[in-house]
Amino acid sequence: MFSNLPPVTKALLIANALVFLLQQALGDAAFAPFMLWPIGSGGDPTMPGVGFGPWQLLTYGFLHGNWSHILFNMLALFMFGAPLEYTWGQKRYLSYYMVCMVGAGLCQLAVGAWLMANGSGGYPTIGASGAIFGLLLAYGMLFPNQRVMLLIPPIPMKARTLVIVYGLFELFVGFTGLQPGVAHFAHLGGMLFGWMMIRYWRGQPPFGRRGPPRPRIVR
């Protein structure tokens, strides 16, 4: 099954798994410079000299907090990534994945700046979830009627319904704070940037024409 995966999805799975194993071997402190730190946070007092760096908008997406974090992300990458890569091709698929990852990071930086302005501490963000939520959105847009199965609870539903459910859930828990320690707005950012990129490729508003030009009337 793994050998039949398209090359970019396979490479992303391998890269995430190898980095996670290195995290387990070396400890999170060794990877602190590659986590996404809020701008101006100054890093963690236990990790002097660590703070925001622009490269972190890419590297944070290959780090994970624990086994459940990486397993859920890689399962979603396996489920949704392969069909998208077969549909788009390697270059477009990889560019989409990276744009969603960076876009999610930018949204998280904005949220982190707002939290710090309101007295909250600066904590790093890690995980491929922003890019994964972008893949989920793309799958729902390209295969809206394809039935998928939720893990918890195990309920089958159409892909577009799954996207709506997850989007609303992330929005709800993000604003209510019912699930702290999770970068909900990064997840939504991945979906937002993915939506914009697909509309850009399709030439749809706000990037393309809103419709055919109206005929000119000479009076």
Mean pLDDT on 64-84: 95
Residue 106 lies in a domain: yes
Do residues 189 and 180 make contact, with C-beta atoms less than 8 angstroms apart? no
Q: Give the end-to-end CA distance of the chain in Å, rounded to a whole number.
A: 67
Do residues 62 and 138 make contact, with C-beta atoms less than 8 angstroms apart? no
207 confidence band (pLDDT: 50, 70, 90): confident
Predicted structure pTM score: 0.89
Residue 158 has pLDDT above 70, yes or no: yes
Residue 214 lies in a domain: no
pLDDT tens per residue across span 111-150: 988 888 877 767 899 999 999 999 999 999 999 999 998 7
Most distant pair of Cα atoms in the chain: their distance: 78
Residue 52 lies in a domain: yes
pLDDT tens per residue across span 14-45: 999 999 999 999 998 899 999 999 988 765 55
* Domains identified in the chain, total number: 1
Question: DSSP of 26-38, one letter per residue?
Answer: H-GGGGGGGSBPP
Question: What pLDDT score does 219 carry?
Answer: 47
User: How many Å apart are CA 207 and CA 204, to the nearest integer?
Assistant: 6
Question: What pLDDT score does 64 carry?
Answer: 97
Question: What CATH number has the domain bearing residue 158?
Answer: 1.20.1540.10
Residue 31 lies in a domain: yes
User: How many Å apart are CA 56 and CA 101, to the nearest integer?
Assistant: 11
User: How many Å apart are CA 98 and CA 117, to the nearest integer?
Assistant: 29
Residue 120 lies in a domain: yes
Question: What pLDDT score does 45 carry?
Answer: 55
Count other C-beta atoms under 10 Å from residue 134's C-beta: 31
Count other C-beta atoms under 10 Å from residue 156's C-beta: 10
Residue 216 lies in a domain: no
User: How many Å apart are CA 90 and CA 115, to the nearest integer?
Assistant: 37
Residue 162 lies in a domain: yes
Question: What pLDDT score does 3 carry?
Answer: 81
Residue 217 lies in a domain: no
Q: What is the domain extent for residue 106?
A: 2-202
